[in-house]
């Protein structure tokens, strides 16, 4: 225990040391965004670098030795990334960006192509981010960052990220993603994707466990408790899906263009209900049942006397209750066995208030010929110990160009790489 | 007014005790077990409710508050770990550090959530399943975490 504490302290002080120089710099101002939009320098010098070796890395490697995977797969530490949340792999394969629920976005580079990152540094330090959780790329290399209440775009991010100043523009201005009075710390991690229609899709969690009736009109109109889409320039905004509680994971099936998303379900109804969800939207305007349903077909106490909408779509997959299904990705690689191709990898963060914790693993869902869900099974597990302690909490899954997958973990502060090494 | 009948539901077996008031021990520790002999059956009048007296009583009562079990509290804290950590350090931007917090403060905070006088989307949900004993155990565990600090120069 003491040794563990020591390791933790050591890692923390190393981190603190590397952050100190940044504190001495001039304050980041809103004017910087304007300057960056005009390709002007802001005078923001040093970027924070995260050391990649030391006691913390060794402790995580020990944890990874306990992770169970199907035969032939291997998991390894890819990078130490503090508070690592959602992942966006650059389409050129140069760099991977990782969002956080705090104020930083990290760039992760494997310069030696050793399948291990050798550099992790702060992205766009001249911009002040607020909960920059959602990161996603367009095929032509524009990086989108969906914050709590703003969306930014970084053209040629894989090129500009090397310096402190990066080309940056606002897609949705501060305070216009949701009405500012609806801002909350709760359920405010956005995720995004650029769809095959070249539109930007963003999930918007609603801030309550179950919202009050008088909130529903506004939420329906704005798309809170749902998913919105808009042009890459932020125009033609529409509510794409509604009746969602708090989706923190989304991807689009390249085969049939259907939009799939996870949803976190109602708390306080006991350990075993309602189930978590993996949903499929094959057209705009679908209603997924919240707040009338709290997950699956479980009615919420608050709305039990009301008639739910007739056109509710139920989930494709009901996951174990309270496991917190978050980030997901379709597997389009060729290096995993046939079984996994075209299926979905999704992360379960792990329950936060269940009497006996569940989750903290990576799930795999295969699809049927018609594009609906077939079977769901655990793929990588072992971050939850037998006595209920979390050694890590997976957040998101993303695919690298070589067909391996990355898993982020915001408890350990790391990215893991899972590869198939054969029989 | 510090000492007054609590709006908190009366625990089993308490109703028959015949006291009009609520023991300070219970107010501070939220613990339904019998009071220490010194204070058994004693009804504290409102006149005592000055801050000075309050402070003195807190210090006198502290040992009684330790009735919570640290080991049991650690087990129960598995439900708290994703936000507050088993090391007592916050794991989420919106969660506070609990390691080394004063025990009476932890008890009061949890009970305030249980009573609904303090509200939070997450805390108000999780306290529903806590008993007085759970509160005492959790407070004992988090208060027992040793914390050292290094203030900036």
Query: CB B59: neighbour CB atoms within 10 A?
Result: 8
pLDDT of A8 higher than 60: no
pTM (2 d.p.):
0.82
Q: How far apart are CA A96 and CA A116, in angstroms?
A: 12
Distance from CA of A21 to the nearest CA of B (A): 14
Residue in the structure block whose two tokens are 């991807």 = A251
> Which residues of chain B make contact with A208, given a CB cutoff of 8 A?
121
User: Is the CB of B122 less than 8 angstroms away from the CB of A185?
Assistant: no
| DSSP letter (8 states) at residue A241 | E
User: Is the CB of A355 less than 8 angstroms away from the CB of B79?
Assistant: yes
Residue B59 phi/psi, 5-degree rounding, is: -70, -35
> Which residues of chain A make contact with B125, given a CB cutoff of 8 A?
209, 267-268, 353
Strand A286-287 relative to strand A238-242, pairing? parallel
User: Is the CB of B121 less than 8 angstroms away from the CB of A209?
Assistant: yes
Mean pLDDT of B59-83: 76
| DSSP letter (8 states) at residue A68 | B
Contacts A–B by Cβ distance under 8 A: 51
Q: What is the mean pLDDT of chain A?
A: 92
pLDDT tens-digit readout, A222-266: 999 999 999 999 999 999 999 999 999 999 999 999 999 999 999
> Which residues of chain B make contact with A389, given a CB cutoff of 8 A?
78, 81, 86
Out of A5, A185, A353, whose CB is closest to B125?
A353
Question: What is the H or E stretch that residue A287 is in?
Answer: strand A286-287
User: Is the CB of A355 less than 8 angstroms away from the CB of B82?
Assistant: no
Minimum mean pLDDT among A106-110, A182-186, A203-207: which range?
A182-186
pLDDT of A359 higher than 90: yes
- Confidence band (pLDDT; 50, 70, 90) for B106? very high
Distance from CA of A152 to the nearest CA of B (A): 22
Distance from CA of A311 to the nearest CA of B (A): 29
| Residue B81 at interface with chain A, using a CB cutoff of 8 Å | yes
Out of A209, A351, A411, whose CB is closest to B91?
A411
Asked if the bond preceding A274 is cis, omega within 30° of 0, the reply is yes
**pLDDT at residue A423, as a whole number:** 63
| Residue B146 at interface with chain A, using a CB cutoff of 8 Å | no
Residue B114, CB half-sphere, CA atoms under 13 Å: how many?
19
pLDDT cut 70: percent of chain B above it:
57
Residue in the structure block whose two tokens are 């379709």 = A330
Q: How far apart are CA A41 and CA A33, in angstroms?
A: 10
**pLDDT at residue A37, as a whole number:** 83
Per-residue 3-state assignment (H helix, E strand, C coil) for chain B? CCCCCCCCCCCCCCHHHCCCCCCHHHHHHCCCCCCCHHHCCCCCCHHHCCHHHHHHHHHHHHHHHCCCCHHHHHHHHHHCHHHHCCCCCCCCCCCCCCCCCCHHHHHHHHHHHHHCCCCCCCHHHHHHHCCHHHHHHHHHHHHHCCCCCCCCC
């Amino acid at each position: 225990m003491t040794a563990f504490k020591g390791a933790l302290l050591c890692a923390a002080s190393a981190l603190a040391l590397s952050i100190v120089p940044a504190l001495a710099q001039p304050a980041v101002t809103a004017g910087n965004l304007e300057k960056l939009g005009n390709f002007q320098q802001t005078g923001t010098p040093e970027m924070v670098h995260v050391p990649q070796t030391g006691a913390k890395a060794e402790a995580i490697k020990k944890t990874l030795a306990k992770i169970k995977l199907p035969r032939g797969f291997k998991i390894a530490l890819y990078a130490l990334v503090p508070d690592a949340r959602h992942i966006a792999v650059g389409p050129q394969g140069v760099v991977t960006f990782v969002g956080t629920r705090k104020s930083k976005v990290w760039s992760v580079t494997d310069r030696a192509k050793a399948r291990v990152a050798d550099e992790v540094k702060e992205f766009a330090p001249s911009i002040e981010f607020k909960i920059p959780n959602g990161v996603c790329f367009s095929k032509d290399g524009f990086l989108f960052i969906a914050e709590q209440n703003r969306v930014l775009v970084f053209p040629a991010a894989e090129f500009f990220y090397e310096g402190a100043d990066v080309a940056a523009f606002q897609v949705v201005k501060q305070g216009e993603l949701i009405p500012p009075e609806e801002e909350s710390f709760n359920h405010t991690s956005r995720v995004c994707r650029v769809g095959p229609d070249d539109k930007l899709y963003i999930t918007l969690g609603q801030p309550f466990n179950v919202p009050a009736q008088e909130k529903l009109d506004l939420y329906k109109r704005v798309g809170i408790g749902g998913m919105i889409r808009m042009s890459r320039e932020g125009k033609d905004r529409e509510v794409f899906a509604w009746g969602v509680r708090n989706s923190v994971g989304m991807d689009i099936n390249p085969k049939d263009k259907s939009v799939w998303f996870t949803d976190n379900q109602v708390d306080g109804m006991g350990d075993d209900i309602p189930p978590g969800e993996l949903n499929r939207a094959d057209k705009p305007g679908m209603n997924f049942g919240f707040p009338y349903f709290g997950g699956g077909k479980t009615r919420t106490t608050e709305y039990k006397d009301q008639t739910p909408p007739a056109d509710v779509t139920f989930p494709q997959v009901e996951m174990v209750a309270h496991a917190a299904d978050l980030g997901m990705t379709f597997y389009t690689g060729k290096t995993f066995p046939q079984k996994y191709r075209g299926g979905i990898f999704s992360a379960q963060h792990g329950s936060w208030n269940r009497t006996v914790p569940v989750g903290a693993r990576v799930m795999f869902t295969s699809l049927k010929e018609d594009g609906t869900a077939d079977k769901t099974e655990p793929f990588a597990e072992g971050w939850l110990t037998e006595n209920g302690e979390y050694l890590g909490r997976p957040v998101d899954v993303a695919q690298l160009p070589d067909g391996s997958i990355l898993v982020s973990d915001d408890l350990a502060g790391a990215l893991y790489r899972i590869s198939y090494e054969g029989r | 007014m510090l000492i007054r009948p609590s709006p908190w539901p009366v625990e089993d077996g308490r109703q028959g005790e015949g006291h009009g008031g609520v023991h300070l021990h219970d107010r501070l520790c939220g613990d339904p077990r019998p009071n220490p002999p010194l204070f058994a059956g004693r009804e504290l009048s409102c006149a005592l409710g000055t801050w000075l007296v309050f402070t003195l009583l807190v210090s006198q009562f502290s040992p009684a508050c330790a009735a919570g079990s640290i080991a049991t509290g650690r087990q129960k804290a598995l439900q708290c770990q994703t936000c507050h950590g088993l090391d007592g350090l916050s794991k989420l931007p919106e969660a506070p550090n609990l390691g080394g917090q004063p025990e009476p403060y932890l008890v009061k905070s949890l009970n305030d959530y249980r009573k609904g006088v303090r509200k939070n989307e997450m805390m108000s949900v999780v306290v529903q399943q806590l008993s007085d004993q759970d509160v005492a155990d959790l407070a004992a565990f988090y208060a027992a975490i040793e914390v050292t600090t290094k203030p900036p120069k």
